[in-house]
Amino acid sequence: MRVLGIETSCDETAVSLIEADGTFGVDFAFKQLGNALYSQAKLHEQYGGVFPNLAKREHAKNLVLLLTQALQQAGELHETPVSLPEEVKTQLEALLSREPELFEQLMVFIAAYGRPVIDCIAVTHGPGLEPCLWVGVNFAKALSLLWNLPIVAVNHMEGHIMLSLMEGTKLSPFEFPLLALLISGGHTELVLSKEFGQYEVVGKTRDDAAGEAFDKVARLLGLPYPGGPEISRVATTARNHHLEKKFALPRPMIHEDNLDFSFSGLKTAVRKIVEAHPDMSMDEKAAFAREFEDAVADVLIEKTIRAIDSFGANTIVVGGGVSANAHVREQLKRALEDEGNPAKLLIPPPDLATDNALMIALAGYFRASKKEFANPSDLVANGNLKLC
């Protein structure tokens, strides 16, 4: 089965085409035929975070270009122009009425290229920034109408889990129960899964997500956006050079008898110290960044280990943008080894930790193989979509 994945949940615009076969088990294998991604990080740097309306416009501006690139990589860009009936053109124009630039680009694409060999379209419909999600959802609906293809509505967080379960082009051997630590700019949660497609959120942040805290603290320290990689970079420098730690930070909720998280108070503690010491040197900032990264990692790992023990998890999956953080990855691995815990740890390569369309295509494939298709007329974007 060939699945076209579309991802527009935040500030990455991505399109991917895969060919996959097999069930959710050892017989599964896939091949990535085409993959195109555009990151808007530089555009949002001036705002210190994602500016939703700008992100929405960038998605609309780049989707057709990325589709073209992905299909070209796959050898599916066929110069056989399609003559659209006026009725279909009118439907497409209405569907993309909020994205007129996207409609115009799609018309140019249709006039140049024919239908590719694709079996279905998988699109992120939540969670995320709703204006951004709608661009991807409406684009998927337009392509579905144009090429007469079914649509799979994919939960973005399930996409992260599915990608983390991959080992090369196959599904990594693992056993349920599975515990997923999902850490990103919008989410920090522990999700328990006892069988494919069934999820229970057993722990979550009560305020800021871990990635959001990284970005806000980076801004307080005068570091560039996106903050996560910058905090990691200077914190690594502090460790390598054994820079002296002058300030201590709390580990919020680390000893509370639950699996929830809270990072708002940690951010506030950073702000108070920064305001009280406005003339920090770069070395002091680096050491402070290390202390902040240590604090976040300590809480994430303590709660994860506790959840593993509570639910007898055999497999630990880590996904989301913060899973690219080398310190968090290394400390979690070390904690499992120190405890002699036999649970299998699965984390995607850092370049696949951030949002991408490959994960959407993979999750879409498993849903499509069970005939779980969406009715285009009922498909909507849901910024607060839950994983359950």
As a whole number of angstroms, the distance between CA 255 and CA 262 comes to 12
- Stretch 158-177: mean pLDDT: 95
* Confidence band of 93 (pLDDT split at 50, 70, 90): very high
- Tens of pLDDT, residue by residue over 198-217, are 999 999 999 999 999 999 99
Beta strands 120-126; 151-155: pairing state: parallel
- Stretch 230-235: mean pLDDT: 96
Q: Say yes or no: 120 and 250 in one domain.
A: no
Structure tokens at 274: 């920064």
Q: Say yes or no: 303 and 223 in one domain.
A: yes
As a whole number of angstroms, the distance between CA 187 and CA 263 comes to 12
* Confidence band of 64 (pLDDT split at 50, 70, 90): very high
Domain annotation covers residue 381: no
- What are the residue ranges of helices labelled H in 221-281? 227-240, 264-276
- Stretch 302-330: mean pLDDT: 95
Q: SS3 helix, strand, coil % of the chain, rounded to 5?
A: 45, 20, 35
Q: Say yes or no: 133 and 188 in one domain.
A: no
Distance in angstroms between the alpha carbons of the first and the last residue of the chain: 26
Q: Say yes or no: 130 and 263 in one domain.
A: no
Residue 302 is predicted with a pLDDT of 96
User: By percentage, how much of the chain surpasses pLDDT 70?
Assistant: 100
Q: Say yes or no: 199 and 227 in one domain.
A: yes
Q: Say yes or no: 183 and 98 in one domain.
A: no
Residue type, 171: L
- Are the C-beta atoms of residues 259 and 203 closer than 8 Å to each other? yes
Look at the alpha carbons of 312, 316, 320, 324 in this order and tell me if their dihedral is positive or negative: positive
Q: How far is CA 218 from CA 232, 250, 266, 289, in A?
A: 10, 17, 13, 8
Residue 83 is predicted with a pLDDT of 83
Among the listed ranges 209-213, 284-288, 338-342, which one has the minimum average pLDDT value?
A: 338-342
Domain annotation covers residue 169: no
Domain annotation covers residue 380: no
Structure tokens at 67: 């589709």
* Confidence band of 82 (pLDDT split at 50, 70, 90): confident
Domain annotation covers residue 123: yes
As a whole number of angstroms, the distance between CA 27 and CA 48 comes to 45
Domain annotation covers residue 288: yes
Question: Which pTM value belongs to this model?
Answer: 0.95
* Confidence band of 41 (pLDDT split at 50, 70, 90): confident
* Confidence band of 47 (pLDDT split at 50, 70, 90): confident
Domain annotation covers residue 385: no
Question: 328: burial class by Cβ within 10 Å (0-12, 13-18, 19+)?
Answer: buried
pLDDT value at 244 more than 80: yes
Enclosing H/E stretch for 365: helix 357-368
Domain annotation covers residue 218: yes
* Confidence band of 49 (pLDDT split at 50, 70, 90): confident
Q: Say yes or no: 127 and 209 in one domain.
A: no
Domain annotation covers residue 377: no
pLDDT value at 314 more than 80: yes
* Confidence band of 225 (pLDDT split at 50, 70, 90): confident
- Are the C-beta atoms of residues 217 and 230 closer than 8 Å to each other? no
- What CATH number does the domain containing 139 carry? 3.30.420.40
Q: Say yes or no: 201 and 266 in one domain.
A: yes
Q: Say yes or no: 182 and 150 in one domain.
A: no
Q: Say yes or no: 96 and 207 in one domain.
A: no
Residue 295 is predicted with a pLDDT of 97
The average confidence (pLDDT) of the chain is: 94
Residue 166 CB partners (closer than 8 Å, separation 6+): 172, 348, 362
Residue 52 is predicted with a pLDDT of 86
* Confidence band of 50 (pLDDT split at 50, 70, 90): confident
pLDDT value at 45 more than 90: no
As a whole number of angstroms, the distance between CA 169 and CA 156 comes to 20
Q: Say yes or no: 251 and 364 in one domain.
A: no
Q: Give residue 110's domain range.
A: 2-160+355-368
Cis link prior to 226 (omega < 30° from 0)?
Answer: yes
- Are the C-beta atoms of residues 356 and 32 closer than 8 Å to each other? no
Q: Which residue has the tokens 């949940």?
A: 9
The domain total for the chain is 2
- Are the C-beta atoms of residues 31 and 19 closer than 8 Å to each other? yes
Q: Say yes or no: 69 and 203 in one domain.
A: no
Q: How far is CA 43 from CA 40, 68, 324, in A?
A: 5, 23, 21
